[in-house]
Amino acid sequence: MQGKTDMSAKGGKAQVQSDAGAYVAWSGVDQPELAAEGLGCGLLVLRPLSFALPHYADSHKFGYVLGGSGVAGVLPVATGDASPAARERVVRLEAGDPDGDADDLSILFMGDTERAVNPGDISYFFLAGGNSVLGGFDAGLLARAWPGVTKEQATAVFRSQPAVLLTGLSTKLPGVCPREHARKRLDVNARQVSSSAGGETLLLDEEVAAGGVFVVPRFAVTLIAAGADGAEWVSLIKSVRPAVEHLTGDGSMLGGLTAQVVQASLSVAPELVELLGARSAEPSH
């Protein structure tokens, strides 16, 4: 006889809670049924003049605005394209939008976690903040990834924002406003704007000898620097639907964001943002 399934409702747990808002998650650890079905669920609450730091996730998901309104930016996935079509698309979110200023903005996220790092949980990887995926790298290596950026500047760029997931703004981001033509290129029933807590873990930090082999886990960030003799790098992606993003250079994720968003995310001066190649916001239409 099979054991009785626990169908009782359970509350989520706050992963992040601050003056800027909160993120609550329902975990497959607490509710095994979520993991068994490959489902994930989270609730983002943003207070007025608050900002969710740029990130990506390991799960396909949708968001539904429960209340309030706001502005969201969405980047196309794995294009490696520096053209305008691959840039951040800014749309306005309203209550009732499937996935939208005086009130808190509340968005419920539900996703397919069958192939996630932890089934039953949506994991997020941040481009800025106290748990940034780039923050764990040596500043000298980061400087080599951006031509013209010094080690001191790289330290300032990736160590100046202590906030995790959410941060407050003193004013609205200038020039960052919704554009209707951008919304038309998005499926309004499945937009990816997301948030949650995570952590940084440096898995490997060493010189790799010629002939060495190592495995990069899914969704991990890799930075490779050649030595005096150069480097030859051969990789195998074991997936029928590979998705590889670049975090630096033309067509990168940071390069696709508007300069105002990058500056607010990293909490640095505009001069440093220009070194990273972020673009200026386009006028609204």
Residue 282: inside a domain = no
Q: Is residue 222 part of a domain?
A: yes
Domain presence at residue 2 = no
Q: Is residue 44 part of a domain?
A: yes
The answer to whether residue 3 is domain-embedded is: no
| CATH code for position 183 | 2.60.120.10
- Does residue 143 belong to any structural domain of this protein? yes
Residue by residue, DSSP assigns 182-218 as HHHTS-TTS---------------SPPPTT----PPT
DSSP state for residue 267 in the 8-state scheme = T
In this structure, how many other beta carbons lie within 10 angstroms of the beta carbon of residue 87?
19
Q: Which domain holds residue 34?
A: 13-275
Q: Which of 40, 41, 30 is nearest to 66 (CA)?
A: 41
pLDDT in tens, 2-21: 555 554 567 788 999 999 99
How many CA atoms does the CB half-sphere of 177 hold within 13 Å?
Answer: 6
Q: What tens digit of pLDDT does each residue of 114-134 get?
A: 888 888 899 998 989 988 888
- Per-residue pLDDT in tens (0 to 9) along the chain, 285 residues: 455 555 456 778 899 999 999 999 988 888 887 888 888 888 999 999 999 998 888 888 888 888 888 888 777 665 445 455 555 565 556 555 544 455 889 888 888 888 888 888 999 989 899 888 888 888 888 888 888 889 999 898 888 899 999 999 888 887 776 666 555 554 444 332 222 233 455 566 777 666 555 556 666 777 777 777 777 666 656 566 666 777 766 667 777 788 888 888 888 888 888 877 665 555 444
281 lies in some domain: no
Give the number of domains in the chain: 1
C-alpha 53/C-alpha 42 separation (Å) is 16
